[in-house]
Structure 1
Amino acid sequence: MAASWSMGPGTLEVPMSLFAKNRTRLAEKLKPGQIVVLQGGESIPHYDTDIEYVFRQEAYFTWLCGVREEGCFFALDVGTSKSYLFIPRLPAEYEVWMGKLHTCEDFKQMYAVDEVHYVDEIQKVLKGLNPDVLLTLSGPNTDSGLIAKEAVFEGIDEFKVDNEILFPIIAELRVIKTPEEIEVMRYVVKVSSDAHKQVMLFAKPGLMEYQCESIFLDHCYRVGGCRHVSYTCICGSGHNAATLHYGHAGAPNSKLIQPGDMCLFDMGGNYAGYAADITCSFPANGKFTPEQKLVYEAVLFARDAVIEAARPGVMWPDMHLVANRAMLEHLKKGGLLKGDVEDMIKAGINGVLQPHGLGHLLGLDVHDVGGYLTACPPRPPGPLARLRTARRLQPGMLLTIEPGCYFIPPLLNAAKNNPEQSKFFDWEVVDRFTGFGGVRIEDDVLITETGVENLTFVPRTVAEIEDFMANGANFK
């Protein structure tokens, strides 16, 4: 029976062959005599206590081997394609407190690797392979600005080590998903879509934002086996929906939902390390007001325009502008804006109403790697600098499409005091949106050979949302 990983009956079985295929893809880009060495994640205590955060494996390590346990190393011999897992040597008392002590043979069967040894044997084992060079991972994450942690073990200074060859190759491979990875993404996006639908049926005025968050977390874990979410849940209602990264420790989804509030809920489950990232916006009362409908449909038209236009070969910054034009045109028809749409973009009105980029790559990280690798188009200048990638779309890419429209007081105040921007707004109409918050629609999509496949399944049109919230329609 082929090795696989799941969270039990009813959850997806992820074949270990998924990770073996990734190793094969990587080996094909490298040369015999090279050995890839990655260090997995370590458990992290809560400050100076003996309580630890729930462990999540480092993403490059997951991509290569799928190993869940902390404190491990992994090596891939490029010349032979053999895989080597190195596990911590744990004391006998581990079994008393933490459960069964798995043997090296157990780990070999669980993860379908060629050999398993203890971490304290890594120097000896690698020496026996007589490598020309060890390839370690070191490179920048262009979203966080942080550097990937390079493998370090006792005795590594006895080897020739290169920390530049591996990073651009493995990061680029992560950008294009295999069919096996896409199936995991389908699963976690479907689970997250269903969880969002449960929240839409539950939410109403008089509840706390965090109570809605709890419904999402419950469904993802209880039904989908997602022990983790991919990022801190954003559950903004009313004016909080204009705070782009609401939900942090200083604003922990703690507002009472009021009648007339627009809800913007941005949440995604995580399964086997793979991330979903979905935003649903809907009226707390279940029925759109004219103002809510105007803004919502402007954002929906922006999403639809990108779904229609995106395909292999197009540039992501162009898709951002396609979305901007569609949204601004609809807001102009609704009387909130005036003037020529192209002139609005030149004046930066699109950045006033949507200060973030159209979306981002998606995979083992919610803001997945590969946005600005050396061989890719550089970060654009000016307003487009906020885009998380400027790449040309390719089949097998997974991205979010997430246009938004927000009424953010400091940005609107600055625009009102800027003659080059102020002239495009009907400020009497804008004033009606004081405290409105904002709308974001975020879908997880796959770039196919001919266009886009939307993996997200939630009510999206005004009619669908109102019907679903009123009747619990069987939306699939």
Structure 2
Amino acid sequence: SGGGRTTSTTTMRVGGGGGGGGRYRAANGGKQMTRHDTDHEYVFREESYFHYVFGNTRYSDCYGAVSLPDGRTTLFVPTWGVEVSTICGPCPNLDDVRDELGIDGVMRVEDMASYIDDAMTEMGRRRRRRGGAMSRTTAATVGGEITDDGDGGCETMSVPPPSPPCDDVPDDRPRLYLLRGLNTDSGNYASPAYYAGIEKYDDVRDEVTLFECIAECRVTKSTAEIELMRYTNWMSSMAHVEVMRYVKPGMMEYQLESLFQHHTYTYGGCRHMSYTCICACGPNSNILHYGHAGRPNSGRALTNDDMALLDMGAEYHCYASDITCSYPVRGTFTNDQRCIYESVLAAQVCVLGRLRPGVSWVDMHRIAEGEILRGLMRCGVLRAPDDEISDYDDDDDDDDAIIGKMIESDLGAVFMPHGLGHLIGIDTHDVGGYAPGTPVRSDRPGLKKLRTARILGAGMVITVEPGCYFIDPLLDMALLHEGQRTFINVSRLNEFRGFGGIRLEDNVCITEDGCENLTQCPRAVEEVLDVMSGGVWPPTKDIMPGMKRAWSVCKGGKMRMLPLPILGM
């Protein structure tokens, strides 16, 4: 059933203006998509807002409604004729769908318009009986558009322009909420619902409130949602370990992706990936989203000197995981590889040790930048400026002062040109990052790449993914930047051109008094090398308690927590 049905309904009651009175909303699910102009259909995946409220229907073109006062849910499923049933299987049985999703009632899509009309009429009648002002009667419709096609089915129509909140709704009329809003990651809008006859409610439409309400609800995960994300993280972590065991020079990048997908699908039932897999080795690892349309997987063969950066995560019941591992293809680190790796790892551990409710995500990003810059000083890539070398003493206080100046010059964004992490849940880049009432996006290099600037709260799940990259265009620009060049040891920097990049990414749940790392991948150098040489995983002892990993095992499809002794304790 929908993980956020109760939460979002309760929030709409509060946000909608008070107690009883028959407030109501409706929603539509995802559409079946095809490849360009062909009849090739992609595997259906439910629309995220619809899934949050109604659950994973497995059927496209569904609609749903919720009575806000009592939480009663009604799902509308399409009718399939004989021809469609021959191709796609039997038409969904209403009782079976109701029982599977825990829905109170299930009807056919063609009955939705009359159902909404009847509900709106009844709401208005109740309000008049109560004197009109006792509560704000509302209704809502989320996304998409339908109309009768004359044969008991539905077809799409153009979406009308957005409507602002209606502040002058007559007391005896219910308000109709439609979901429309901007996704701050994609720049795309969620389309409001439309069906033939909805125009009669134009004067009571609100296309703002519902989107903001549900997006905010999705930011804080329920216990059930977190448990699902534990599973996706466990399965994806074990798949990363499997790839780590098999990687060797001469393999192709796409073979690493294939191994990961095979493991999560075969052993975890994860048909979908959360996003396009990034299997970048050697110089390709400085391409942040390698594998996408801009730079598709080139089929490069791994070499003995490569670092592999593998950013892959499986999805289960629409809940995402987003995990990145980096390690040497040869099975041992060179001195330079280890120096950069441990700089990134130090940034991750430093952030994990500070995560708790009330912490600013912007501050965490700056802390991660500082640790990576500190590591680059240890590697000899960065240094004190020429005019301060004579006074520089290699101690923590002087390092902190120099690193502060580096951050102020935006040098951190040269080596980590992305945000520290993002909210994750039903979507990999989950909604709510820059919701109304939250801190706005910075225009500073590095900080403007953050997908949220929120103050963290318990129940949020966020990725922690520091990285260090040597990207030629950014390095060249830094050398032309007077305020940044002064910190760079040019000859040493040039030794890292072609190195690529290293990123480590875990999915972390904010708890009441700290955080729980849902990801269970090898992170310490010793752990990575041990797994690559055939060592057991999960380990018998935790040598990195600072990673905050919540150890668990899965047997017979059921997970249980597995406390590990801390080494030396």
Equivalent AA in structure 2 for residue 218 of structure 1: H
For 1:125 and 1:214, locate their aligned partners in 2 and report how far apart those are by CA, in whole Å.
Answer: 47
Equivalent AA in structure 1 for residue 3 of structure 2: L
For 1:135 and 1:34, locate their aligned partners in 2 and report how far apart those are by CA, in whole Å.
Answer: 10
CA contact 1:37–1:134 (8 Å) conserved in 2: no
Equivalent AA in structure 1 for residue 454 of structure 2: R
1:120 paired residue among 102, 107, 110: 110
**Aligned Cα RMSD in Å?**
1.4
How far the C-alpha of 1:253 sits from its partner, in A, is 4.9
CA contact 2:336–2:379 (8 Å) conserved in 1: no
Residue 63 (str. 1) matches residue 125 (str. 2): no
Q: Helix, strand or coil: the match of 2:280?
A: strand
User: Which residue is equivalent to 1:433?
Assistant: 496
CA contact 2:2–2:54 (8 Å) conserved in 1: no
> Structure 1 stretch 196-205 or stretch 74-83: which is displaced more?
74-83
Residue 414 (str. 1) matches residue 472 (str. 2): no
CA contact 1:246–1:253 (8 Å) conserved in 2: no
How far the C-alpha of 1:68 sits from its partner, in A, is 2.4
User: Which residue is equivalent to 1:168?
Assistant: 212
For 2:247 and 2:271, locate their aligned partners in 1 and report how far apart those are by CA, in whole Å.
Answer: 23
CA contact 1:344–1:421 (8 Å) conserved in 2: yes
Mapping 1:195-344, distance limit 5 Å: 195-249=239-293, 250-339=295-384, 340-344=402-406
Equivalent AA in structure 2 for residue 102 of structure 1: P
1:281 to 1:108, Cα distance in 2 relative to 1, 3 A: same
CA contact 1:95–1:101 (8 Å) conserved in 2: yes
How far the C-alpha of 1:102 sits from its partner, in A, is 2.2
1:35 to 1:466, Cα distance in 2 relative to 1, 3 A: same
Unaligned runs of 5+ residues in structure 2 are 124-173, 385-401, 540-569
User: Which residue is equivalent to 1:47?
Assistant: 36
Mapping 1:374-453, distance limit 5 Å: 374-383=436-445, 384-453=447-516
> Structure 1 stretch 291-300 or stretch 82-91: which is displaced more?
82-91
Equivalent AA in structure 2 for residue 91 of structure 1: G
**Structure number, greater radius of gyration:** 2
How far the C-alpha of 1:381 sits from its partner, in A, is 2.6
Greater relative contact order, per chain length (Cα 8 Å cut-off, separation 6+): 1
Percent identity between the aligned chains? 43
Cα deviations across residues 131-184 of structure 1 (Å, max 9, x unaligned)? 412211111100111111211112212233221111111111000000010000
Q: Helix, strand or coil: the match of 1:240?
A: helix
For 2:100 and 2:439, locate their aligned partners in 1 and report how far apart those are by CA, in whole Å.
Answer: 40
Q: Matched residue pairs, number?
A: 461
How far the C-alpha of 1:350 sits from its partner, in A, is 0.2
For 2:15 and 2:363, locate their aligned partners in 1 and report how far apart those are by CA, in whole Å.
Answer: 34
CA contact 1:44–1:55 (8 Å) conserved in 2: yes
Cα deviations across residues 405-458 of structure 1 (Å, max 9, x unaligned)? 000000001111222211211122112212110000000000001111101001
User: Which residue is equivalent to 2:520?
Assistant: 457
CA contact 2:356–2:512 (8 Å) conserved in 1: yes
Q: Helix, strand or coil: the match of 1:192?
A: helix
CA contact 2:313–2:321 (8 Å) conserved in 1: yes
CA contact 1:227–1:270 (8 Å) conserved in 2: yes
> Structure 1 stretch 375-384 or stretch 97-106: which is displaced more?
97-106
Cα deviations across residues 298-350 of structure 1 (Å, max 9, x unaligned)? 00000011001111101100000111111111221221211211111111110
How far the C-alpha of 1:30 sits from its partner, in A, is 4.3
For 1:142 and 1:20, locate their aligned partners in 2 and report how far apart those are by CA, in whole Å.
Answer: 23
For 2:298 and 2:424, locate their aligned partners in 1 and report how far apart those are by CA, in whole Å.
Answer: 24
Q: Helix, strand or coil: the match of 2:103?
A: coil
CA contact 1:30–1:78 (8 Å) conserved in 2: no
User: Which residue is equivalent to 2:226?
Assistant: 182
User: Which residue is equivalent to 2:130?
Assistant: none
CA contact 1:236–1:253 (8 Å) conserved in 2: no
1:289 to 1:25, Cα distance in 2 relative to 1, 3 A: farther
For 2:47 and 2:191, locate their aligned partners in 1 and report how far apart those are by CA, in whole Å.
Answer: 9
How far the C-alpha of 1:464 sits from its partner, in A, is 0.8
Equivalent AA in structure 2 for residue 448 of structure 1: T
Residue 105 (str. 1) matches residue 87 (str. 2): no
- Relative to the length of structure 2, the TM-score reads 0.79
For 1:103 and 1:464, locate their aligned partners in 2 and report how far apart those are by CA, in whole Å.
Answer: 51
For 1:419 and 1:472, locate their aligned partners in 2 and report how far apart those are by CA, in whole Å.
Answer: 48
2:3 paired residue among 3, 14, 18: 18
1:473 paired residue among 533, 536, 552: 536
For 1:17 and 1:439, locate their aligned partners in 2 and report how far apart those are by CA, in whole Å.
Answer: 37
CA contact 2:424–2:461 (8 Å) conserved in 1: yes
1:196 to 1:301, Cα distance in 2 relative to 1, 3 A: same
For 1:72 and 1:305, locate their aligned partners in 2 and report how far apart those are by CA, in whole Å.
Answer: 46
Residue 349 (str. 1) matches residue 391 (str. 2): no
For 1:228 and 1:458, locate their aligned partners in 2 and report how far apart those are by CA, in whole Å.
Answer: 20
CA contact 2:2–2:52 (8 Å) conserved in 1: no
Equivalent AA in structure 1 for residue 493 of structure 2: V
For 1:244 and 1:17, locate their aligned partners in 2 and report how far apart those are by CA, in whole Å.
Answer: 33
For 2:49 and 2:224, locate their aligned partners in 1 and report how far apart those are by CA, in whole Å.
Answer: 17
> Structure 1 stretch 373-382 or stretch 223-232: which is displaced more?
373-382
For 1:97 and 1:22, locate their aligned partners in 2 and report how far apart those are by CA, in whole Å.
Answer: 38
How far the C-alpha of 1:27 sits from its partner, in A, is 4.5
How far the C-alpha of 1:90 sits from its partner, in A, is 1.1
For 1:334 and 1:49, locate their aligned partners in 2 and report how far apart those are by CA, in whole Å.
Answer: 53
User: Which residue is equivalent to 2:126?
Assistant: none
CA contact 1:140–1:147 (8 Å) conserved in 2: yes
Q: Helix, strand or coil: the match of 1:303?
A: helix
Unaligned runs of 5+ residues in structure 1 are 1-15
Equivalent AA in structure 2 for residue 158 of structure 1: K
How far the C-alpha of 1:374 sits from its partner, in A, is 1.0
User: Which residue is equivalent to 1:76?
Assistant: 66
Q: Helix, strand or coil: the match of 2:98?
A: helix
For 2:422 and 2:444, locate their aligned partners in 1 and report how far apart those are by CA, in whole Å.
Answer: 18
Equivalent AA in structure 2 for residue 69 of structure 1: Y
For 1:192 and 1:471, locate their aligned partners in 2 and report how far apart those are by CA, in whole Å.
Answer: 19
CA contact 1:468–1:475 (8 Å) conserved in 2: no
For 1:288 and 1:418, locate their aligned partners in 2 and report how far apart those are by CA, in whole Å.
Answer: 32
Cα deviations across residues 328-376 of structure 1 (Å, max 9, x unaligned)? 1122122121121111111111000001010000000100000001111
How far the C-alpha of 1:24 sits from its partner, in A, is 4.3
